Amino acid sequence: MASSPLCTWLVAACMSVTADNEFSPKPSMVQCSKRLSRWGKRRRVLAQCSDFARGGSISSSIQGLVSSCLAFEPCDQYCSSKGLSYSAFFGDNALSSLFGSKSLPLNRRQRRTNRGSHSGETMAVAVQPAKEVTTKKKPLTKQRRVVVTGMGVMSPIGHEPDIFYNNLLEGASGISEIESFDCSHFPTRIAGEIKSFSTDGWVAPKLSKRMDKFMLYMLTAGKKALADGGITEDVTDELDKSRCGVLIGSAMGGMKVFNDAIEALRVSYRKMNPFCVPFATTNMGSAMLAMDLGWMGPNYSISTACATSNFCILNASNHIIRGEADMMLCGGSDAAIIPIGLGGFVACRALSQRNNDPTKASRPWDTNRDGFVMGEGAGVLLLEELEHAKKRGAKIYAEFLGGSFTCDAYHMTEPHPDGAGVILCIERALAHSGVSREDVNYINAHATSTLAGDLREYQALVRCFGQNPELKVNSTKSMIGHLLGAAGAVEAIATIQAIRTGWVHPNINLESPEEGVDMDLLVGSKKERLDIKVALSNSFGFGGHNSSIIFAPYK
């Protein structure tokens, strides 16, 4: 078995030797070779190989093979008075290494090296070690900084960043009875519902009739963020659109479009909306916004339940830091206040049933909390590379320093009992941002008004930041409810507004704090003045997804 590749190699190697002055063939042998038929040559080769395999002399088999089969005279280097030897082809130790019982078979690289050692001077040159190729290392460059230059929001208490945040500072609640459908047969009949919404001037009327509401919220908030960032038509024309991207996600996607398609299917598939599949997918909002803007940079969506927005924001910033984009629209959008959405969360036993007093229903850290309140809307940030923003004279709201993600790997809906995943996430976010824990003096908490979640997060915050006397913590959800995949982006806008204004909004409905909760750490029932050094915003989602992102004043 070992002789077969050897013979094949010998024929191939010797047939490839160039016939120059040093390897000139003898005329008689050339004439003889011409008279040999191809089949005759093949038979001779096979015969020699068979002899070799039956235990014949290695030296005689190879010498016979060369003399009978080759049309070219072997080079003088290997034609000594002692004749051809195996060691002349493969080296003195080749026999034991190739056929010895204790040796492993030669690998492809070894066979290739050995192959060149017997073909004369021409092949000897070919197998000379190539000069080591040295690649120049990429020169170190200063890390690109990421800043926020635009914000767009759709929420139950305002569709403009300033209106939205002023209502938060005043403690105005956007939670009320659901009006978009009859929910009288549900045990929960309240939500943070957007009562009035128009796409006029933002989305084409034809698309407005076909798209799911989560996409309409996303497109509107995205374009508002561009307008807020000073991206006019003239500026748009000057942008390198291959370096502008969109990364806006959704936890639930187009539930209304998909639900309507199922109802239509009960009659016939012919009644189904042909856009039901694309308009139900979570990525289509980002895709449609990019099509409208002509932005050809990174474009996709991330769906990690209620942590979606933070995942999108951090990944968008990474595209800018790595030099893959100069400008990114990022955030999240959700519109799940429909029968199937409400019913699904009711079945999870996750929602508050304080129907008689909606504005008091969402009450993070309060002993009388009985579940979270669904909300809807969208939040979009315009992130931009610092020098790019300065070059076009953009207004800079804050700097994005970084963040992190972790997974509890514990339970689908319940937080880890000791908060290990949250603590790890916060610590990694601080390390990624290059921020010390003493510098963080404001936290916009995830706090949803659930029994286990609020307390676990609070305990994790205390373990990470200790009893920092300057630290203040609040929950935007106390006034707008839980916007699911949009929550992180809307709360990021609240965080940036707190940095801009120097005011942090209150925690409403915190009338009877959970035992062990320090009210000196939490913002009270009224807004408080705070000179923010570094702000952290948390978002956690079903599946154990943890995310923390960090902002600071631009300096």
Q: Specify which residues 404 forms β-bridges with.
A: 548
Sign of the four-CA dihedral 102, 105, 109, 114: positive
Catalytic residue check, 425? no
Catalytic residue check, 306? yes
38: Cβ contacts below 8 Å, ≥ 6 apart: none
Contact 486, 456 (CB under 8 A): no
- Residue 442 burial by CB count (10 A; 0-12/13-18/19+): exposed, middle or buried? buried
Distance CA 28, CA 73 (A): 11
Report the candidate in 333, 195, 371, 185 with the shortest Cα–Cα distance to residue 256.
Answer: 333
194: Cβ contacts below 8 Å, ≥ 6 apart: 154, 155, 156, 217, 376, 377
> How far from chain centre, in Å, is Cα 467?
35
Q: Give the tokens for residue 456.
A: 């676990």
Catalytic residue (one of 244, 306, 425, 464) = 306
Cα pseudo-dihedral 279, 285, 291, 296, rounded to 10: -130
Cα pseudo-dihedral 116, 117, 119, 121, rounded to 10: 100
Catalytic residue (one of 446, 464, 505, 545) = 446
524-550: burial string, b at 16+ Cβ within 10 Å, e else: eeebeebebebbbbbbbbbebbbbbbb
Contact 151, 371 (CB under 8 A): no
Q: Give the tokens for residue 460.
A: 């994790």
Contact 375, 481 (CB under 8 A): yes
Distance CA 469, CA 455 (A): 20
Q: Long-range CB contacts (< 8 A, 24+ apart) of 424-429?
A: 424/546, 425/538, 425/546, 425/547, 425/548, 426/460, 426/461, 426/464, 426/536, 426/538, 426/548, 427/464, 428/404, 428/548, 429/402, 429/403, 429/404, 429/536, 429/548, 429/549, 429/550
Q: Specify which residues 548 forms β-bridges with.
A: 404, 538
Catalytic residue check, 446? yes
- What is the H or E stretch that residue 230 is in? none
Q: What is the DSSP string of 147-162?
A: EEEEEEEEBTTBSSHH
User: What is the DSSP code (8-state) at residue 522?
Assistant: B
Contact 372, 189 (CB under 8 A): no
530: Cβ contacts below 8 Å, ≥ 6 apart: 441, 442, 472, 498, 502, 503, 504
- What is the H or E stretch that residue 34 is in? helix 27-35
Helices (H), 415-486: 420-433, 451-465, 477-480
SS3 label, residue 350: coil
Catalytic residue (one of 118, 319, 482, 545) = 482
How far apart, in Å, do the first and last CA atoms of the chain sit?
Answer: 75
* Catalytic residue IDs: 306, 446, 482
